[in-house]
Amino acid sequence: MAVDDAILETEGLSKEFRGFLAVKNVHLRIRRGTIHALIGPNGAGKTTCFNLLTKFLQPTAGRIRFEGRDITALRPAQVAKLGIVRSFQISAVFGHLTALENVRVALQRERGESFDFWRSHSVLRAYDGRARELLAAVGIEAMAEVPAAELAYGQKRALELATTIALEPALMLLDEPTAGMGREDVGRIAALIKQVAKGRTVLMVEHNLAVVADLSDTITVLARGEVLAEGDYAQISADPRVREAYLGSEEG
Amino acid sequence: MAVRSEPAAIRAATGTGNGLRHHQLGMALLAAALVFAPLVLYPVFLMKVLCFALFACAFNLLVGYVGLLSFGHAAFFGTAAYAAGHAAKVWGLPPELAVLFATACSAVLGLAFGWLAIRRQGIYFAMITLALAQMLYFFYLQAPFTGGEDGIQAIPRGRLFGLIDLANDLVMYWVVLAVFFAGFLLIYRTIHSPFGQVLKAIRENEPRAVSLGYDTDRYKLVAFTLSAALSGLAGGTKAIVFRLASLTDVHWTMSGEVVLMALVGGLGTVFGPIVGAAVVVSLQNYLAGLGHWVTIVQGLIFVACVLAFRRGIVGELARLVGKPL
């Protein structure tokens, strides 16, 4: 293993919205092959952080390095091509496309940015086998021909995961993967994340602390845009500042 | 849109790869109908329908499959009409080169307009396309080569490839039919190409498409340019057929009409814009005696569409049969 095994690093990452500092001087270090959770009370800047890392937002200050390369100036699609693939809080599927087509849209990316509007659809059949494997891996292979909009919520999240791992991302960013789920679905998605995280690196924002405790190797706690604490679950849960931040936000 | 409760509607709008056989059947029926149509209908009327059908299909490529509502498509239709008219009349180019030149003009214009407009989304995109088209309208109103209020009249139809005299309406009809089918098939192929698959993904959820590594702006720009070029093909052909290019072709009401056609027929359906164009052109022709009342009738149809059958004629039909049409 390399001496420096950080896959993603930020230095002094900050984002200001018209005078409001949503993210303040955040130093993050995501180690390769780990599941890293980003937690914190509402409005702590977790999703903003995600948007900065994937370049959906442009940071006001600071640097982002991925695999040792400065990616601060890149566009979102370029970041994705390098292997940082994110999911969204609201399940992001292509509603009118079937589950199979959803996954295939990710798989066909390897054809490059192709604008071949004259070519037949049939070239995409080559990806059907792999797409079905991915659907099977997340347990929804029976829904392959069903439009994504018709899937149940948990199935949509599973489909989103299948689409994300189709790109073989080096780093997966999952934004609240279990948000809005029933207990049964939470368990299934958590198991799924554990399974797909093998051999990859995952950074996730998650509110469900049971999931965080179960999955993550490292936890970073954000509060009011700043890093409050970092460590494993035992360290974090014992930290009085973290307790205060959580309790304080619940009272307010 | 209440998608969850209407699975058939979703399937109807989904262009799945395995359900294309009935598209081929539809095309065969359409081709047969158009081959025999001159026996019962005037070729000039049919040519008008075909030109507008191609225009509506090109427009639908953008609104129905990329989710971009352009309100300035008259710019491409009208520019091509002027370009074809000028090329055929002043430069004396044969009709095929005049139309080709017109298509190229619209493509370049589409590239420029698209480059500016795709920076914004939704209503802002529509407004930018409208504003740009209006600027162009006033330019054409003043520019000497357009003939201002008179337009370019008596455009020669000429001889196709220097051989076939197009003065005969029926001969002209076969040419227009060929042009229409070429354009229609290209659009059909585009919708069902790997590129088209990415376009649909962008329509469904653009941020997700970006997060998968697609430079969505470039896809939108290619689609916009393609749509503009095909609108130009329709406009150029129309100028040759009717031997006229006028301000009507670039006026904003033309942009509105193409929206109406696509909407009446069914946005995001393969055959909808053709049906929509046939309906709207028929109404204009047969209700011409009503004068300005035509606009009111059109308005009422628009309202009825939005209220009663939002998916358009073909869209509703597709829902009934449970297949994309």
Q: Is residue B310 part of a domain?
A: no
Interface test mutation site (partner B, options A86, A89, A105, A168, max chain B beta carbons within 10 A): A105
Please tell me the predicted confidence (pLDDT) of residue A2: 47
Question: Is residue A200 in a domain?
Answer: yes
B233 pLDDT exceeds 90? yes
Chain B: residue whose CA lies nearest to A88? B208
The DSSP letter of residue A176 is S
> Which of B:56-85 have CB within 8 Å of A?
none
Q: Which residues contact A8 (CB under 8 A, 6 or more apart)?
A: A28, A29, A30, A53, A64, A65, A66, A84, A171, A201, A203
* Least confident residue range of A102-116, A139-153, B10-24, B97-111: B10-24
In this predicted structure, what is the pLDDT of residue A1?
Answer: 46
Q: What confidence score (pLDDT) does residue A114 get?
A: 77
In a domain, A17, yes or no: yes
Please determine, for residue B14, whether its predicted confidence score (pLDDT) is greater than 50. no
- What is the count of structural domains for chain A? 1
Which is higher by pLDDT, A1 or B295? B295
Structural domain harbouring A215:
6-251
Q: Is residue B76 part of a domain?
A: yes
Task: Note down pLDDT in tens along chain A; length 252 residues.
Answer: 444 589 999 999 999 998 898 999 999 999 999 999 999 888 888 989 999 999 999 999 999 999 989 999 999 999 999 999 998 887 789 999 999 999 999 999 988 777 888 888 888 888 999 999 999 988 899 999 999 999 998 899 889 999 999 999 999 999 988 887 888 888 888 888 998 888 899 999 988 888 999 999 999 999 889 999 999 988 988 888 888 877 664 443
Higher pLDDT, A121 or B8: A121
Confidence bin at B15 (pLDDT 50/70/90): very low
pLDDT at A221: 93
pLDDT value of residue A252: 36
- The DSSP element (H or E) to which A70 belongs, if any, is strand A69-70
Instruction: Measure the CA–CA gap between B231 and B61, rounded to whole angstroms.
Output: 10
**B318/B64 Cα distance (integer angstroms):** 15
Query: In a mutagenesis test of the A interface, which of B18, B21, B23, B193 is the best target, namely the one with the most A β-carbons within 10 Å?
Result: B193
| Domain assignment of residue A56, yes or no | yes
CATH code of A81's domain: 3.40.50.300
Residue B193 lies in a domain: yes
A1 within a domain of the structure (yes/no): no
- The answer to whether A167 contacts B213, with C-beta atoms less than 8 Å apart, is yes
Q: Which domain holds residue B97?
A: 43-249
Residue B195 covered by a domain: yes
Picking from B201, B220, B221, the residue whose alpha carbon sits closest to that of residue B211 is: B201
Q: Quick check: is A129 in a domain?
A: yes
**B304 pLDDT tier (thresholds 50, 70, 90):** confident
Number of domains in chain B: 1
Neighbours of A159 (CB within 10 A): 27
Residue of A nearest to B4 (CA): A150
Compute the distance between CA of residue A76 and CA of residue B289 in angstroms, rounded to an integer: 56
CA distance B271 to B57: 8
- The SS3 of residue A8 is strand
**A109 and B213: CB-CB below 8 Å?**
yes
Over residues B132-155, the pLDDT tens digits come to 999 999 999 999 888 888 889 988
Q: Is residue A18 part of a domain?
A: yes
Task: Give CA–CA dist B50/B109, Å, rounded.
Answer: 23
DSSP 8-state secondary structure symbol assigned to residue B178: H
Distance CA B156, CA B92 (A): 8
Three-state secondary structure string covering B3-58:
CCCCHHHHHHHCCCCCCCHHHHHHHHHHHHHHHHHHHCCCHHHHHHHHHHHHHHHH
Between CA B32 and CA B39 the distance in angstroms is 12
Separation CA A190–CA A208 (nearest Å): 10
Q: How far apart are CA A134 and CA A138, in angstroms?
A: 7
Instruction: Report d(CA B325, CA A222) in Å as an integer.
Output: 51
Does A195 reside within a domain? yes
Average pLDDT of B82-105?
94
Strands of chain B (E only): list them. Answer: 159-160, 164-165
Give the pLDDT of residue B54: 97
- Whether B245 contacts B82, CB under 8 Å: yes
CA distance B33 to B46: 11
Instruction: Count residue pairs from A and B with Cβ separation < 8 A.
Output: 132
Distances (CA, A) of A34 to A26, A170, B233: 19, 11, 56
For A128, the closest chain B residue by CA position comes to B17
Q: What is the pLDDT of residue B19?
A: 53
ipTM of the complex: 0.88
**Domain membership flag for residue B275:** no
Q: What DSSP element (H or E) covers A211? A: helix A209-215
Q: What are A207's two structure tokens?
A: 């509110």
